Amino acid sequence: MIMETNTVTGIKHQTNTKSENHFLKNWMEHIELINALISGILIGFGWFYNNQGNEAIAIPLFILAFIIGGFAKAKEGIEETIAEKNLNVELLMIFAAVGSAIIGYWTEGAILIFIFALSGALETYTMNKSQREISALMSLQPEEAVLLVDGKESRIHVSSLDIGDTILVKPGERIATDGFILTGKTNIDQSAITGESMPVEKDINDEVYAGTVNGNGSITVSVTKKSTETMFQKILDLVQSAQSEKSPSQQFIERFEGTYVKGVLLLVAAMMVLPHFLLGWTWNETIYRALVLMVVASPCALVASIMPATLSAISNGARNGLLFKGGMHLESLSKTNVVVFDKTGTLTKGEPAVTNLITSENVNLEEFYEAVHSIENQSTHPLAKAIVSKMNKDYPNLPAKMISVDEKSGFGVSAVINGVNWKIGKSDFVGRSLAEAYQGGISEQLAKEGKTIVYVLRNDEMIVLIALKDVLRQEAKAAIETLQRNGIKTVMLTGDSLSTAEAIANELNVDLFKAECLPEDKVTEIKALKERYGTVTMIGDGINDAPALAISDVGIAMGEGTDVALETADIVLMKNELSKLTNALKLSKKMNSIVKQNIVFSMSVIALLICSNFLQVLDLPLGVIGHEGSTILVILNGLRLLRGI
């Protein structure tokens, strides 16, 4: 009874601790916004008492508003100035606010701090939103796994798992690491990794991924990768690295900011003196106009034109299966003039499937199916697997007999079943003349369609022709048509034969294609395309695509591609759908469009406010509202990318 009471108490305490931590986390995440709002309330009371002529209460309220609202930005500005040894826009705003207070414009200075703090809170919100995308991903990966050693179960942290360990995954649990199934059969929801909407059937020796959900069966899994090397961890690493990478535009703005701030301070210093002597302004008016200039000439909106939009686009992409390794790649993608495709595994599924099964009139179909199914079931060749898969689909209860087969690698396989000699393979294996003459030479036409031909010989009699083809991805044709409508040329580079490449190229209607390409040939072709057309984007999935991905302006890897391709590429299509390529292009163009809108708008507002100040028609409150209001608008414009393309 005592144990039960203690357990309950412990649970309550743990729950309360979690609630407190969650509350504290939410508070800290919104602290800048909370401080900005408190500052705004203090300013409201200060303004009220100031209008009542009670400066003794108003000024302390304004000072509190300065400290609470401006602390975060002042701290950020000072730390960056010390670290980078360069002035920044945050210090410019603090100088302007303090200067306004010194000459008696307490309300205006406090409003400047308030709006500046509010715009800073919006920028922080953008960063936090992007971080939440990572947190949402991280929550999908279990922290613990059930380790099996000599039949005994023990729960350990995933970081303690070694390659070769065996773990138990029960129904409904998330798989802790990458591996392959040792025992059991189940269906697995892989949507977190591949984006497949339906659970996938998994059996012994099938590969499974960390972060995916086990369905209706208990399975044991042999660990093939450390927790730091799983496909899931790579997704996290890619998103995190993307946030730290800056686009060329952002890098230029940041370099420009320091020089610009120095220029503004020099201009303000001149403005504090020259108009008094040259234009006959009073000292009060001269200093006042100099402070207004410091406010309106500050490049806050310009600085905020790019980063919020870039982070929003990266977050949007991560949520929709598009992983950008940095803002620079997102920016470069919008300039694409040519998209180069690998064929196998990119335009096609990389898995052959039976398309034609042409039989002689006198063939015994039952005997044929049983014999070929039994023979091909002994082989691990992709063509054999495709033939077995087709037969299992046509006849689900077809038995597979264990027989002795003689395999000639690269040519075919033969066996004797019930005294009958069977041969299955290429034309040279079964007899070229017999193969070419079969059914009026139909094999020639099938070969022109890019199909691989397998012949079946029964006691020296040709009885069946099986045609197979690497099946096109369903969305490949639509993706290519979309690119072409947008004025982007499409090119296919493949190591396959000319006839196969030509058949696929004609079916997809690509602009250019080249067959029988070695990895170095692909690199040469991409260099030539860059010289001829400009920016080239390459998309592939294999080890042989890695050099081409590296040399292209933007490299894109299919999510189920090889580790080398994923490492080399700048962008990863995690859902393995080519339709995501066109989405990536749309997202890139939308981001660049928003960035251009922001830059033009912010510079126009700065120019208008500076001119109005020189003409003495702009007061400090309007300058503050115009300047900081434009900053808030460009941030909100960038945040639109969080919603969609």
Active-site residues, by number, are 342
Pinpoint the alpha helices (H) of 30-84.
31-51, 55-84
Cβ neighbours of 546 (radius 10 Å): 23
DSSP symbol at 175: P
Question: Six-digit token pair at 544?
Answer: 């042989």
Torsion of CA 36, 39, 44, 47, to 10 degrees: -130
- φ/ψ of residue 341, rounded to 5: -110, 135
Instruction: With beta carbons less than 8 A apart as the criterion, state whether 492 and 540 touch.
Output: no
- Integer CA distances (angstroms), 645 to 375, 584, 588, 633, in order: 52, 9, 9, 19
Interacting residues of 202 by C-beta distance below 8 A, sequence separation 6+: 181, 185, 186, 187, 188, 208, 219
Cβ neighbours of 253 (radius 10 Å): 21
Instruction: With beta carbons less than 8 A apart as the criterion, state whether 93 and 110 touch.
Output: no
Dist. CA 330–CA 317, nearest whole Å: 10
Element (H, E) at 466: strand 461-472
Instruction: With beta carbons less than 8 A apart as the criterion, state whether 333 and 582 touch.
Output: no
Q: Please, what's the b/e burial string for 100-138 (b: 16 or more CB within 10 A of its CB; e: otherwise)?
A: bbebebbbbbbbbbbbbbbbbbbbbbbeeebbebbeebb
Question: Where do we find the tokens 């041969």?
Answer: 423
Residues forming beta bridges with residue 183, ordered by sequence position? 220
Torsion of CA 196, 577, 392, 408, to 10 degrees: -130
Residues forming beta bridges with residue 323, ordered by sequence position? 572
